[in-house]
Structure 1
Amino acid sequence: MNWLRSCRLLSRGFVLACVLGVQAWVPAIAQENSVSAWLTRLHEASKHRTYTGTFVVSAGTQMASAKIWHVCEGEQQLERIEPLSGTPRTTFRRNSEVLTLFPTAKVGIAETREATSLFPGLLKSKGADLDEFYSLKTMASERLAGVDADVVHIQAKDGLRYGYRVWSEKKSGLVIQLQTLDVDGKTLEQSAFSELNMDAQVSSAKLNQLMGQTEGYRIERRTTEKTSAAAQGWAMNGGVPGFKPGGCYIRPVALLAGASGKTDTSMQWMFSDGLATVSLFVERFDPSRHIQVGAADLGGATRTQTRKLGNWWITAVGEVPAGTLAVFTQALERKK
């Protein structure tokens, strides 16, 4: 579980990297005051940045750090992520191809992930009605990490989602720090680069070469099958305003548990309001694993909610308030 939490913290840190290196974007915020336009601009700008850096993500008493190498060449994005704490591992990504190598166990996990679930991951979908559920507010400038910074607050308009606060260096727009805020404005998670080189000479050829060095590793390929909730016999009776259904997949249960050798499957149905995401996992009830029904806090902004429905076990996971997850689990219905 500690390894899973560490992975989650590091993946959340990618949100900070998403908004790096954008030049002169703060004035546009004041002019438009549009969450959608601002996030789209940052998302597009991040596609064409090459850099190396070390970032630290903290959530409560938990902390994780990692070194990242990121390079863009045309439409191709490659990166290497190496955590500096927790289980030794190296993750490579080439567009949607993801390979995680565990040197101690000599095991590699290869899988494919949709772009919205990968780095950069702040903007989940471009067509979302973000301005209906979030507002953008410029705060007073602050001096942080030795530089003068502009502060932007993305505020949620209801209690069904979290807000965000972003610090960026005044002249360049370089993001220094990002916080995820609960409904009362309390900081749940914080991400910050402790070291960053925007002029790094990162070779895509070298990253491709390193990604291909798997000799001596047992590669386990985690496959997913695209499906629909209706085809699997599920539907939503209501739901959460703003959250629209996205991809639906059949995944091995081992993918969720971090184990191997199992053949059980789970349906994952994804929802997003364009900024926040929720995943509903549905699998056959197993009394040896499915014990406690209700809400759980994984630390930081991530919550889970479980429910037993007949012979099925439903788990909702997302960086949203617990009440939001409860609505999702109660709205899911079996149709066949």
Structure 2
Amino acid sequence: MKLRAFALSLTLFAPVAAPADETPAHAQLQAMSQANRSLEYSGRFLYQFGGEVSTMEVNHAVFDGREYQRLTHLDGRLVEVLRRGDEVICIHSDRTLTRMQKEQGGPMLLAQRLADDVPAQYNILVDGDGRVAGRNTTRVRVAPLDTHRYGYRLWLDNESRLLLKSEVVDGSGVALERVEFVSIDLAPGLTLADFEVPETVRESALQPLPTGHAASSMRVEADWLPTGFDAADQDWRSGDGKRKPVAAQGYSDGLAAFTVFVEPLEEGAVEEGVSRLGPTVAVSRRLTAPSGAYLITLVGEVPQSTAERVIQGISVRDARH
């Protein structure tokens, strides 16, 4: 369940940049981005992740130039992801909330990531037509040029250009993750009240480390990354005083992404291993460095072989020395 929830957080919003060489397929992605950001819509969709299927509801609108979106799980535990302008929060079933970065937020993120300047490691082409939620669509395929990332299949509404269905596929074309609308309303009449935070919600204990904290001097580095992947800013988080700070170092090629978490360890055994759910893999390894022992965990949407090669080259150092 934790891996599934984290995968949702990895897979909402990113800035849009026009590609240098716009093709018909690129133009389709640009139109999709504009529609997903600017249109008011409400709908329900199926979210298939590995062998699990969830039903979710999305409400989206723009008020005074600010984008609002609410994602709600309709089965299982009640979880919501809410965006109001630049603020993105996850509301958990225990009525706590966690503040998230803008590039996080749920399975609707793909529509925005694909509208950026698609990395050179992918080929984009229009791949036929189809029908989703009773609406005619154009199918677009985003195919990787190496084995270190997954591909994508997209179904865009011919009328509104909204992304109505998407699939993350492996090298054999098998769908590992699917988002598919079953109903869509393009004039739902939403108001700001539809995007309010419940009054009973309280802030989660997980907070950024204060400036100058000793743990924040630790730096996570990768000896090897797949071509096109770059490191984002490192993030350190602390818990309620009982939990040691955890470092989170993100990497992305502009489309695929993974995060390396580093947690200091006490003496004793530590659980190592690999788990997979849909396209998301989690690999954990113990690392002994001059500054101490750590549990290194890589979580992200990359093939297992790629994740294991990256984690073998992860090192931790003290930036003060």
TM-score class normalised by the smaller sequence: 0.7 to 0.9
Instruction: Give 5+ residue unaligned stretches, structure 1.
Output: 20-27, 255-259
| 1:292 equivalent in structure 2 | 272
| 1:137 equivalent in structure 2 | 125
| 1:264 equivalent in structure 2 | 244
User: Does 2:230 correspond to 1:244?
Assistant: yes
2:66 to 49, 65, 76: 76
Q: Is the 8 A contact 1:240 1:327 kept in 2?
A: no
Q: CA deviation at 1:200?
A: 1.3
Q: Is the 8 A contact 1:6 1:63 kept in 2?
A: no
Question: Which runs of structure 2 are paired with 1:304-315 in the superposition (5 Å)?
Answer: 304-310=282-288, 311-315=293-297
User: Does 2:23 correspond to 1:32?
Assistant: yes
2:261 to 281, 291, 310: 281
Task: Look up the SS of the partner of 1:47 in the other structure.
Answer: helix
Q: CA deviation at 1:39?
A: 4.3
Query: Distance between the aligned counterparts of 1:70 and 1:316, measured in 2?
Result: 32
Q: Is the 8 A contact 1:180 1:188 kept in 2?
A: yes
| 1:223 equivalent in structure 2 | 207
CA gap 1:55/1:145 in 2 versus in 1, 3 angstroms: closer
Query: Distance between the aligned counterparts of 1:77 and 1:85, measured in 2?
Result: 26
Query: Distance between the aligned counterparts of 2:257 and 2:51, measured in 1?
Result: 24
User: Does 2:143 correspond to 1:159?
Assistant: no
Query: Distance between the aligned counterparts of 1:230 and 1:296, measured in 2?
Result: 28
2:44 to 48, 54, 78: 54
Query: Distance between the aligned counterparts of 1:125 and 1:231, measured in 2?
Result: 34
Q: CA deviation at 1:10?
A: 8.3
Cα RMSD (Å): 3.5
Query: Distance between the aligned counterparts of 1:169 and 1:126, measured in 2?
Result: 15
Task: Look up the SS of the partner of 2:182 in the other structure.
Answer: strand
Query: Distance between the aligned counterparts of 2:123 and 2:85, measured in 1?
Result: 31
Q: Is the 8 A contact 2:156 2:165 kept in 1?
A: yes
* Residues 230-270 of structure 1: CA deviation (Å, up to 9, x unaligned): 94133222322111111210023x6xxxxx77432110001
Task: Look up the SS of the partner of 1:5 in the other structure.
Answer: helix
Between Structure 1 and Structure 2, the one with more helix by share is 1
Q: Is the 8 A contact 1:34 1:135 kept in 2?
A: no
1:331 to 293, 313, 321: 313
Q: CA deviation at 1:169?
A: 3.2
| 1:316 equivalent in structure 2 | 298
Query: Distance between the aligned counterparts of 1:290 and 1:42, measured in 2?
Result: 45
1:173 to 161, 168, 178: 161
Identity across the alignment (%): 23
Query: Distance between the aligned counterparts of 2:33 and 2:209, measured in 1?
Result: 28
Q: CA deviation at 1:61?
A: 2.1
Question: Which runs of structure 2 are paired with 1:11-26 in the superposition (5 Å)?
Answer: 12=11
User: Does 2:87 correspond to 1:97?
Assistant: yes
TM-score normalised to the size of structure 1? Answer: 0.78
CA gap 1:96/1:169 in 2 versus in 1, 3 angstroms: closer
In structure 2, what residue type is equivalent to 1:332? I
* Equivalences, count: 306
| 2:96 equivalent in structure 1 | 108
TM-score normalised to the size of structure 2? Answer: 0.81
Q: CA deviation at 1:33?
A: 5.2
1:87 to 77, 81, 98: 77
Query: Distance between the aligned counterparts of 1:245 and 1:304, measured in 2?
Result: 18
